[in-house]
Amino acid sequence: MATCAILDLHGLQALMDALRGRGYRVIGPTLRDGALVLADITSVEDLPRGIGDDQAAGHYRTRARADEALFGFAATAQSAKPALFPPDQQLWSGTRVGDGYDVSPREPEPAPVALLGIRGCDLAAITIHDTVLLGRGAIDAHYATRRDHAFLIAITCATPAGTCFCASMGTGPKPGEGADLTLTELLDPHRFLVETGTPAGEEVLAELASEPAAAADLAAAEAVVAGAVAQMGRQVQTDDLRDLLYASAESPRWNDVGERCLACTNCTMVCPTCFCTSVEDVSDLSGDVDERHRVWDSCFSMEYSRLHGGAVRTSTSARYRQWLTHKLAAWTDQFGMSGCVGCGRCITWCPAGIDLTAEVAALREDATHRETTPASAALAAPPGTGGARTRSGTTTGSATPPTPSTDR
Ligand code: SF4
Ligand code: SF4
């Protein structure tokens, strides 16, 4: 059974010190270059005291809060993903020796990380990566090493952003299972409710000078959760998402979003669950030293779908469809869970302001329209397409961009 206790700000510092004393790098939220990011921190003073954020589609700004909250903001610009699944991972290096080649073991992994203040959405994303990268036939050794040694301190989200929809996805604002410790920040007086989630969390908490949690503390923490749910910026109807996405394979909405999407890959770079990579080989100028790296890649890049003879998904609309359909439908078939945790980062950091929740709503509206429109009317040319839609969804007419069905 979980232990509940109260830590004050000195206790929070003692927690960080205890983790550092155990050899952890403590990674937590801090203000850097006008954004709240996860980075190495050593002190409570490194946390963004009294700073909140405003997030909307294609919009991010920090702002001053009227209080001294240390975690009074929503999802940080980047999630915890880079700490456990880095964007550039050296796999091996080799040096020419005479006519042969010496292959060196891969770089040693860095010190284990303690992730402080991760949100429910990001904790759920780590659980997803555990399934994808550890729970199947081939275990990702790099991820396994980092993950095995990581210490997770989640925090209840008190002030979700306008782009957040974790409540819809069932991942927040109260973090689910998987954290060693879960904090809820309480103000007046400033303190933290701490709940243990693992024996490792129990062990660390036992070292700290904490107070037992009172009924008033527990009630205050519940009020934080209720307040966050009430402030949730967006929502998604999830009960039939998989079927909706599969049934929408030929929706004209993909062409609409394809015309707005810049294929910049931002959404996949900030997404805490995206895990696509490619392999790059680099050598020095002499050609005597080679390195192989695994780097993040994106299904929004043309090259990512290259098979023999060329790319499979040459249009932006086809790539957006691939991304959203995998996230919300095929992921469920592959891994038994949604690939989206509702963090909202793909909305905030999309330079075109494309909003996953709005795209799903539009697909739903389109599906409803198809159900209620007679087949003969559905075959008429949709406005602005410049051609008549055939029964298969292909489009005729010279000014019309190819639909996903003809350009995958
Ligand atoms: S798809 Fe968007 S909202 Fe969902 S987890 Fe990825 S970045 Fe977050
Ligand atoms: S949806 Fe937005 S963030 Fe994603 S590739 Fe397109 S323009 Fe970039």
Is 137 a domain residue?
Answer: yes
Phi/psi at 303 (nearest 5 deg)? -65, -25
In the three-class reduction of DSSP (H, G, I as helix; E, B as strand; rest coil), residue 254 is classed as helix
User: Is the Cβ–Cβ distance between 213 and 14 less than 8 Å?
Assistant: no
**Other Cβ atoms closer than 10 A to 304:** 18
Q: Which residues pair with 163 in a beta bridge?
A: none
Atom of ligand 2 nearest to the CA of 346: 3
300 lines ligand 2 (CB under 6 A): yes
Is 251 a domain residue?
Answer: no
Is 180 a domain residue?
Answer: yes
Choosing from 256, 261, 274 the residue with most ligand 2 atoms within 8 A of its CB, the one to mutate for a pocket test is: 261
Is 394 a domain residue?
Answer: no
Is 100 a domain residue?
Answer: no
Query: 3-state SS of 155-202?
Result: ECCCCCCCCCCHHHHCCCCCCCCCCCEEEEEECCCCEEEEEECCHHHH
Is 384 a domain residue?
Answer: no
Is 326 a domain residue?
Answer: no
- Please give the chain's pLDDT, 408 residues, in tens: 789 999 999 999 999 999 999 999 999 999 999 999 999 999 999 999 999 999 999 999 999 999 999 999 999 999 999 999 999 999 999 999 998 889 887 667 778 999 999 999 999 999 999 999 999 888 999 999 999 999 999 999 999 999 999 999 999 999 999 999 999 999 999 999 999 999 999 999 999 999 999 999 999 999 999 999 999 989 999 999 999 999 999 999 999 999 999 999 999 999 999 999 999 999 999 889 999 999 999 999 999 999 888 999 999 999 999 999 999 999 999 999 999 999 999 999 999 999 999 999 999 999 988 888 765 554 444 443 333 333 333 322 333 333 344 455
Q: Whose CA is nearest to atom 7 of ligand 1?
A: 271
Is 160 a domain residue?
Answer: yes
- Domain assignment of residue 196, given as a range: 4-86+110-231
Q: Say how many Å lie between the CA of residue 316 and the centre of ligand 2.
A: 10
327 lines ligand 1 (CB under 6 A): yes
pLDDT at 381: 44
Could you give the number of structural domains in the chain?
Answer: 1
Q: Whose CA is nearest to atom 4 of ligand 1?
A: 340
